[in-house]
Amino acid sequence: MAEGLDAEPLDAGILHLCLDMQNLFAPNAPWSTPWMPRVLPVVTEIAGRFPERTVFTRFIPPDTPEAAPGRSAKD
């Protein structure tokens, strides 16, 4: 366990929030990331223990850059 963390059990209100575990980030995918193969087994293990308390989110890219709100690189 990480130093300084309490070893007390988590209460029933705790959720596992999993952000952007998508095939889009898998090896050989359009937005491949080096961390996906390393963290996927860990995320799968945690989610499998308490699936009812796991919330997955996902990033949905716009169809075109023009459809994306926000600032451009020129701003």
The string of DSSP letters for 17-64 reads EEE---GGGSTTSTT--TTHHHHHHHHHHHHHH-GGGEEEE-----SS
The reported pTM is 0.60
Write the pLDDT tens digit of every residue in 17-72.
888 888 888 899 888 889 999 999 999 998 998 899 999 988 787 787 778 777 65
Burial zone of 67 (CB within 10 Å; 0-12 exposed, 13-18 middle, 19+ buried): exposed
For 46, other C-beta atoms within 10 Å of its C-beta total 14
Domain locations in the chain?
16-61
Which three-class secondary structure state does DSSP give residue 70?
Answer: coil
